[in-house]
Chains A and B, each alone.
Chain A
Amino acid sequence: DGGITQSPKYLFRKEGQNVTLSCEQNLNHDAMYWYRQDPGQGLRLIYYSQIVNDFQKGDIAEGYSVSREKKESFPLTVTSAQKNPTAFYLCATAGQPQETQYFGPGTRLLVL
């Protein structure tokens, strides 16, 4: 069953806490992306990776970190430096960077 999975579906963060959002794909796609979606705003790119062991900052990388140690996995850590983390986080993949991006089901992050 091919696809993109994100976990958890809902995540609660306490003040000062780092949390990690999972994104896994078995589509054998090279490119992976993390977006943040806030009400009334378009999706904004946080980080992207075109190949294993390489990633680049997007438009709003401050307060976030990523790793790309395996082709299948691109976890996103929301650090305590991100002061307004409440949002819907979407992971996307593409076969090649120039191809269509497909999205995972998303993780909704809420602050306690």
Chain B
Amino acid sequence: GQNIDQPTEMTATEGAIVQINCTYQTSGFNGLFWYQQHAGEAPTFLSYNVLDGLEEKGRFSSFLSRSKGYSYLLLKELQMKDSASYLCAVRIDYKLSFGAGTTVTVRA
């Protein structure tokens, strides 16, 4: 099977920065995705990395190191609405394998 690991929970203060790590050991690799999922809702696409390095998109950035099997999602200037679950997913051929998700709680 595929191994995709991320922390279960993280807590941070409004206005702060949080980094969510994702490590993977998979039978193949065709890119890594990050999705945000609010409670009871569908996941929404945040970012995609296929080459090593940092991709920045507003307050959110995602980093990939293929040689280390490692990615992180960086959330800056945290807002209360960022409280959600963040899902790391690895694409292998045309299928996605997901980690269990990291629940981020933002406190005032």
Instruction: Please list the residues of chain A having a beta carbon within 8 angstroms of any beta carbon in chain B.
Output: 31, 33, 40-45, 48, 50, 58, 90, 97-98, 100-106
Contact = CB atoms under 8 A, between A and B. Distances in A.
A43 B33 contact: no
A97 B30 CA distance: 12
Interface stretch (B52-60, B68-76, B98-106): B98-106
B64 interface: no
A43 B45 CA distance: 14
B45 A102 contact: yes
Contacts of B35: 103
B100 A105 contact: no
27 contacts: A40-B8, A40-B100, A42-B89, A42-B98, A42-B100, A42-B101, A43-B43, A43-B87, A43-B89, A43-B98, A44-B98, A45-B96, A45-B97, A48-B95, A90-B42, A90-B43, A98-B30, A98-B94, A100-B33, A100-B48, A101-B33, A103-B35, A103-B42, A103-B43, A103-B44, A104-B42, A105-B42
For the residues of A in contact with B, the DSSP-based class is loop
For the residues of B in contact with A, the DSSP-based class is strand
A7 to B, nearest CB: 14
B4 interface: yes
A66 B2 CA distance: 24
Nearest to A58: B95
A44 B97 CA distance: 7
A98 B48 CA distance: 12
A17 to B, nearest CB: 25
